[in-house]
């Protein structure tokens, strides 16, 4: 009886196809015909090999690489004692491999054009793989990856990456000497002018113009790097008063021309009314332009807007900043209309709201902004929250935004700014290499001495890979990206000057990422890192990673920093690699994903406050960046619960977010949560629970998968992780109030 196989096969070009038993039979028969009749296998042996492979594959929960199947074929032939047939089969594979190496990118690029490369299509949940600009970026990326693998990186780094021991991030941009993420020095560019496409942009003379210029800057920056970027609304705040004075002058001239009273109360009311309209128009310009802009890599800019009242002096400027923040929150709550005219949740820009003494209690002066932020989070999943209280503890008294979704600069202890002032805007990250902690644990077989030895070996490998990133950026001349290096976004270097001085002295960071702390503990201790017996081991590993970064930094004057990697497609890649190397280990490799950074496992029952309190210890040990989250139901009718979580964030953890849902079915109009089901082929698909619609093109799904909101769907590993998430706040009852009981 033949085994039914639902598992898919991943071809070399990334295309995912159904398993076909006849292809195994045909391949063995082809090799069989090439040997002398006396050495040939009979039809029953060939069929037995194929059936055994089918049975083995049927027990695998993830898609299988074609190379793995071919190795199974070789083993099966040998077990049948068909040694001569095996030789022919192996030689055929060798000849085919040589032919492929003549050009390793052709099949990958052609499959991209045909929209058949599932791995690349689902690599980024905010890139639409169908449109031409995205395909051009992916095609260029395939060429860059090929150059990186064959020429630019050492063989041991390439091998470790392909085996899933480490992940060398963004190799599709490595050849071009681009950096990762940054904080835009918007203040310098707006106050002192900048140049965009060889056109001088002088200091804006109104708030609206400043907003317009900001969107142009963001688009230009995004086209010259591959990571996220952040800017602060505080740098726009001074332009509100510039508009105020401009409007006042115009109002006085109008009233004088018409013979109307110029009484101060009347004039002020008119001025503030017109100013409010300009703020509304300016923020709308930022929101809609950043959503509708498409950079050269086929996506909207990965951009974060930072909202921190204390970045500007108390008085009129702070009041103006509060007015900007208020308008941002109101417009984000409304959302944007999709092509069907339905109000939906946009992915960008990401918003971060800083909780501080002047807005965190009901009697604080800006409490109403915090209430508005809570309503916005409940409806549109942003803003996320930084605790000024905790950040000051961690960052030597400073409060500043992350670069993009979670990458944080190390504190400025040298006074990098003018007159020794602490400087953060204009600094950046050189890149990331992530260590698979689960593989370290599995490779050790649970032996502690062996674990620490392997960990150090893998860290040496990561260090070597990070140095490759650093050396690749060295020698880069400012002319390659004038907006970044010459015209103020990151620096004001001269033409022909290299960026080398910005790669040292703590000016830019370089990140040692890590993933799978939970699964590592499960393999080494048999317990989750939330268990008191396993937690000390997890913290010891985290401290060890930090100590390595500190030692490298001291030796090389390069700002290595530990970073809780926001894995998207890599979580699936690591999971598949682990299953291939170690099989299915309950609680360790039995999922198609591994856990991001230090996070509590998505299936673990824990309430919101316990989770935030527990993860705060680990976040402190991820100074290069990390974010914690709590999974919540629809809390639009329970804002006190949102506010309670926000206050807890302020007191206990530096950076956190609330994960809710924001979906819409275009078939029936249902705006509740889309569900994840398993189809007949065993593949996870999205389904409207109201009408049964499974057409992804006819529904809108927004989920938090990293620090950003994703809206273009995910690979099977990440989809399984989303399905497995338990709530950390119970679904609200009829009465108001906050319950923090975990609920599956």
Active site residues: 180-181, 403, 405, 407, 429, 563, 568, 707
- Alpha helix stretches (DSSP H) within 293-336: 316-334
Specify whether the CB–CB gap between 227 and 180 falls below 8 A: yes
Cα–Cα distance measured from residue 273 to residue 207, given in angstroms and rounded to the nearest whole number? 14
> How many residues are listed for the chain in this entry?
744
- 658's CB contacts (< 8 A; 6+ apart) are 377, 378, 381, 629, 630, 632, 635, 642, 645
How many CA atoms lie within 13 Å of 438's alpha carbon, on the beta-carbon side? 34
Nearest of 417, 410, 435 to residue 557 by alpha carbon:
410
Cα–Cα distance measured from residue 282 to residue 289, given in angstroms and rounded to the nearest whole number? 10
Q: Are strands 8-10 and 16-18 parallel, antiparallel or unpaired?
A: antiparallel
230 three-state secondary structure: strand
Cα–Cα distance measured from residue 347 to residue 616, given in angstroms and rounded to the nearest whole number? 26
Question: Distance between alpha carbon 1 and the CA centroid of its chain, in Å?
Answer: 46
Work out the end-to-end distance of the chain between its first and last CA atoms, rounded to an integer number of angstroms: 39
| CA distance readout (Å), 60 to 15, 148, 500 | 18, 31, 48
- Alpha helix stretches (DSSP H) within 535-638: 535-556, 570-582, 608-620
Specify whether the CB–CB gap between 392 and 386 falls below 8 A: no
Specify whether the CB–CB gap between 307 and 231 falls below 8 A: no
Nearest of 737, 744, 727, 735 to residue 644 by alpha carbon:
737
The two three-digit tokens of residue 663, written as one number: 């979906």
Look up tokens 């037995």; give the residue: 48
* Lateral strand order in the sheet of 229-232: 182-183, 229-232, 303-307, 350-355, 384-387, 655-659, 628-631
Helix (H) or strand (E) holding 162: helix 155-163
Helix (H) or strand (E) holding 561: strand 559-564
Number of Cβ within 10 Å of residue 93's Cβ equals 17
Cα–Cα distance measured from residue 656 to residue 41, given in angstroms and rounded to the nearest whole number? 62
| CA distance readout (Å), 109 to 116, 120, 143 | 10, 10, 9
Cα–Cα distance measured from residue 234 to residue 249, given in angstroms and rounded to the nearest whole number? 25
Cα–Cα distance measured from residue 343 to residue 147, given in angstroms and rounded to the nearest whole number? 43
Nearest of 329, 330, 321 to residue 351 by alpha carbon:
329
- Alpha helix stretches (DSSP H) within 195-262: 207-222, 238-258
Cis omega before residue 349 (within 30°)? Answer: yes
| DSSP codes, 506-555 | TSSEEEEEEE-HHHHHHHHHSS-TTSTTTHHHHHHHHHHHHHHHHHHHHH
Burial of 658: CB neighbours in 10 Å, binned 0-12, 13-18, 19+ = buried
The two three-digit tokens of residue 520, written as one number: 């590592």
The two three-digit tokens of residue 690, written as one number: 């109201």
């Amino acid at each position: 009886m033949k085994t039914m196989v639902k598992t898919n096969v991943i071809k070399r070009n990334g295309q995912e196809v159904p398993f076909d038993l006849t292809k195994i039979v045909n391949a063995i028969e082809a090799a069989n015909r090439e040997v002398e009749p006396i050495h040939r296998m009979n039809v029953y042996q060939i069929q037995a090999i194929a059936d055994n492979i089918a049975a083995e594959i049927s027990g695998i929960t993830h898609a299988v690489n074609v190379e793995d199947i071919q190795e199974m074929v070789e083993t099966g032939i040998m077990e049948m004692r068909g040694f001569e047939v095996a030789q022919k089969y192996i030689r055929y594979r060798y000849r085919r491999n040589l032919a492929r190496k003549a050009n390793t990118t052709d099949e990958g690029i052609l499959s991209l054009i045909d929209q058949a490369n599932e791995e690349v299509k689902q690599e980024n949940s905010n890139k639409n793989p169908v449109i031409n600009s995205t395909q051009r970026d992916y095609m260029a990326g395939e060429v860059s990856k090929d150059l990186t693998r064959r020429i630019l990186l050492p063989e041991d780094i390439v091998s470790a990456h392909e085996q899933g021991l480490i992940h060398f991030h963004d190799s599709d941009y490595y050849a071009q000497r681009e950096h990762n993420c940054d904080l835009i020095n918007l203040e310098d560019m707006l106050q002192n002018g900048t140049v965009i496409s060889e056109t001088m942009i002088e200091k804006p003379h109104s708030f609206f113009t400043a907003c317009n210029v900001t969107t142009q800057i963001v688009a230009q920056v995004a086209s010259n790097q591959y990571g996220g970027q952040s800017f602060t609304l505080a740098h726009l705040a001074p332009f509100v008063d510039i508009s105020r004075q401009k409007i006042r002058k115009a109002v006085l001239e109008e009233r004088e021309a018409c013979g109307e009273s110029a009484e101060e109360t009347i004039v002020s009311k008119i001025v503030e009314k017109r100013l409010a309209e300009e703020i509304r128009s300016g923020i709308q310009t930022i929101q809609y332009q950043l959503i509708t802009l498409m950079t050269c890599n086929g996506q909207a800019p990965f951009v974060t807007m930072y909202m921190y009242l204390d970045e500007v002096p108390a008085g009129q400027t702070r009041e103006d900043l509060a007015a900007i923040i208020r308008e941002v929150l109101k417009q984000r709550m409304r959302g944007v209309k999709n092509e069907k005219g339905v109000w939906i949740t946009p992915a960008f820009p990401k918003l971060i709201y800083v909780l501080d003494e002047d807005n965190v209690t009901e009697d604080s002066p800006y409490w109403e902004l915090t209430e508005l932020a809570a309503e916005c989070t409940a409806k549109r999943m942003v803003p996320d929250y930084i605790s000024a209280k905790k950040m000051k503890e961690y960052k030597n008294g400073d409060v500043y935004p992350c670069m993009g979704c979670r990458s944080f600069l190390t504190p400025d202890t040298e006074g990098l700014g003018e007159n020794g002032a602490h400087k953060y805007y204009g600094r950046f990250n050189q890149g990331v290499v992530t260590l698979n902690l689960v593989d370290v644990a599995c490779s050790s077989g649970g032996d502690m001495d062996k674990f620490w030895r392997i960990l150090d070996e893998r860290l040496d490998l990561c260090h070597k890979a990070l140095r490759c990133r650093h050396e690749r950026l060295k020698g880069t001349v400012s002319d390659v990206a004038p907006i970044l290096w010459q015209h103020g976004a990151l620096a004001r270097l001269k033409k022909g000057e290299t960026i080398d001085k910005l790669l040292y002295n703590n000016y830019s960071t370089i990140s040692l990422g890590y993933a799978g702390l939970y699964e590592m503990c499960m393999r080494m201790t048999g317990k989750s890192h939330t268990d008191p017996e396993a937690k000390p081991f997890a913290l010891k590993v985290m401290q060890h990673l930090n100590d390595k970064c500190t030692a490298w930094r001291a030796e090389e004057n390069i700002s290595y920093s530990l970073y809780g990697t926001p894995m998207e497609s890599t979580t699936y890649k690591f999971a598949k690699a682990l299953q291939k190397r170690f099989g299915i280990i309950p609680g360790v490799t039995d999922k198609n994903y591994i856990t991001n950074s230090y996070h509590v496992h998505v299936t673990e029952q824990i309430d919101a406050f316990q989770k935030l309190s527990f993860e705060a210890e680990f976040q402190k040990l991820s100074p290069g960046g990390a974010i914690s989250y709590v999974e919540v139901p629809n809390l639009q009718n329970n804002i006190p619960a949102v506010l309670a979580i926000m206050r807890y964030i302020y007191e206990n953890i530096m950076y956190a977010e609330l994960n809710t849902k924001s979906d819409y079915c275009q078939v029936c109009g249902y705006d509740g949560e889309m569900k994840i089901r398993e189809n007949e082929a065993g593949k996870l698909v999205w389904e409207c629970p109201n009408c049964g619609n499974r057409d992804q093109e006819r529904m809108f799904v927004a989920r938090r998968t990293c620090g950003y909101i994703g809206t273009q769907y995910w690979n099977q590993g990440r989809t399984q992780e989303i399905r497995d998430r338990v709530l950390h706040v119970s679904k609200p009852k009829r009465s108001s109030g906050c319950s923090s009981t975990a609920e599956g």
